[in-house]
Chain A
Amino acid sequence: MNHPKENHLDPLRVLAMIHAMIEESIYHTETFAYTLNVHHNDKAAKVFHLICEQFKAEQGIVLNGTLNVDLPTIPPWEEPYTEYIHPSSVLIHANYLMSESEAWKLMHEMVEIHKRFYTFLCKENSVNTLFSVVDQLVNYCNDCGEKNKRLEAKAETNRSKSSEDIDIIALHSNEGGLW
């Protein structure tokens, strides 16, 4: 993929990439929360939903910090640094039967992807004031991390349902079942 080194520290591009990354996370957690609900796995859905709300707040920080600037449009395939992984890539391990605790584990990994990006940026450090946004993001993630840890500890570890209980394509949704 493209890793335009010299662009890394152009603060506007960096913020645009952060914005894009969080958008992806919001979309996918929201979408997965919905489909988990449809598959009657409300416990896991709730976890996805909660994290989605946190991502939305995280995006709020970015938007607040860039109120008076126009973020550039970055090609959606551009990756900020070599080790970057797309936050949605952990979701392949989601499962309609997953337990609440498994859901937490996945969400945790997703948040970690965000954090890794921010940490990378802090290391590369820059004096530009816009980068203060990154500091705020790191702090926010840490706060959430603490809260989440407590919730995760209380989460159920058993899978409440077996594959026999649930039809693959939400048979009971209005969209109908198998074609």
Chain B
Amino acid sequence: MRDMTQETLTAKDYLSDIRPIWCPGCGHFFILRALAQAFAWLKLPKEQIGLISGIGCSSRIPAYINAYGFHGVHGRALALGTGLKAVRPDMHVIVAGGDGDGYSIGGNHFIHACRRNMDMTYIVMDNEVYGMTKGQPSPTTEPDWESKFAPHGTGIRTFNPLGVALASGASFIARGFAGDPNGLTKLIVEAIEHKGFSLVEIKSPCVTFRPEEKEWSKTMRKMNVVPTDDVVEAARKIHSSDGLDTGIFYQATLPVFEPHSTKGKTVLDFEKEFEV
């Protein structure tokens, strides 16, 4: 996939003039950089990248990348990306956003994007909290995490994105960590190279509302997962993981949804059908 005929570009070339204003320390910074590194390594032509996001701190990312981007509404980025990919199969469609955006308000689109298994990459910057709206619990927040919004914790078990993706039909499922930029870059490169729907769920500390997540730099295991193309084996790995393992949990060749449009008829042919 890496196109050797393309001129060499560096990460810098893929970063726009607009500078991120995330909180200093936020994991999203490192994901942005890894994404730019991955683009540079793959030598993707900038004009062939469509980076689509919803709303949230994480969803600001398209503005920071020098490519075509769409900063849409909260939770619908996957649908917008699906529309783009359907009419422009030549584009590299990368959808990015937060855990609230993707797993809560956009949960239905997540399931169906996995099902469709279109050739695109979904990057979730999971900080287990709603950052942008100042620290409410998200679907990946532990049930006993106390906040203003849920003083006694949510009391609701956490959402398992990798498990849901596997059950729904995604063909590339990985977990990464923002604090491991090298491993992350590799994951993103492989996700983009994969033909089909690739989920890269990235643990990304929200240093402001979940400062305890800084501990992840000690506890997350770097790229320790061995990939498999066996669903049952992948399910076992996903469900037995304590959430701190990173790497590709599942990668398989599955049917990819591609609209089969042809050319060969004209509107005039269809008008004839109405003639009496």
Contacts of A78 in B (CB 8 A): 182
Is there contact, CB below 8 Å, between B182 and A96? no
Contacts of B24 in A (CB 8 A): 32, 35-36, 39, 41, 44, 91, 94-96, 98
Q: Which of A69-77, A117-125, A132-140 contacts B (4 or more CB under 8 A)?
A: A69-77
Contacts of A31 in B (CB 8 A): 19-20, 29
Contacts of A170 in B (CB 8 A): 21
- Chain A residues numbered 132-179 whose CB sits less than 8 Å from any CB in chain B: 168-170, 173, 175, 178-179
A42 at the interface (CB under 8 A from B): no
Most buried by A among B24, B40, B56: B24
Say whether, besides A95-B25, A168-B134, A169-B132, A76 and B183 are in contact (CB < 8 Å): no
Contacting residue for B20 out of A1, A35, A77, A96, CB 8 A:
A35
User: Within the assembled complex, what's the spacing in Å between the Cα atoms of A92 and B127?
Assistant: 13
Is there contact, CB below 8 Å, between B23 and A169? yes
Is there contact, CB below 8 Å, between A77 and B19? no
Contacts of B185 in A (CB 8 A): 76-77
Contacting residue for B181 out of A32, A89, A94, CB 8 A:
A89
Contacts of A9 in B (CB 8 A): none
Is there contact, CB below 8 Å, between B38 and A76? yes
Report A14-32 CB contacts with B as 1/0, cut-off 8 Å.
0000000001100110011
User: Within the assembled complex, what's the spacing in Å between the Cα atoms of A86 and B179?
Assistant: 9
B253 at the interface (CB under 8 A from A): no
Contacts of B217 in A (CB 8 A): 89, 92
Contacts of A98 in B (CB 8 A): 24
In the complex, what's the smallest C-beta–C-beta distance from B7 to chain A, in angstroms? 12
User: Within the assembled complex, what's the spacing in Å between the Cα atoms of A140 and B217?
Assistant: 30
In the complex, what's the smallest C-beta–C-beta distance from A7 to chain B, in angstroms? 16
Most buried by B among A1, A32, A77, A175: A77
Contacting residue for A168 out of B12, B41, B179, B208, CB 8 A:
B208
- Chain B residues numbered 171-204 whose CB sits less than 8 Å from any CB in chain A: 178-183, 185-186, 189
User: Which B residues contact A (CB, under 8 angstroms)?
Assistant: 8, 10-12, 15, 19-25, 27, 29-30, 33, 37-38, 40-41, 55-57, 74, 131-134, 178-183, 185-186, 189, 205, 207-208, 214, 217, 222-223
Not counting A27-B15, A31-B29, A169-B132, a sample of 13 additional A-B residue pairs whose C-beta atoms are within 8 angstroms of each other reads A1-B223, A27-B33, A34-B20, A35-B19, A35-B24, A75-B41, A76-B186, A77-B186, A89-B179, A92-B205, A94-B24, A94-B25, A168-B208
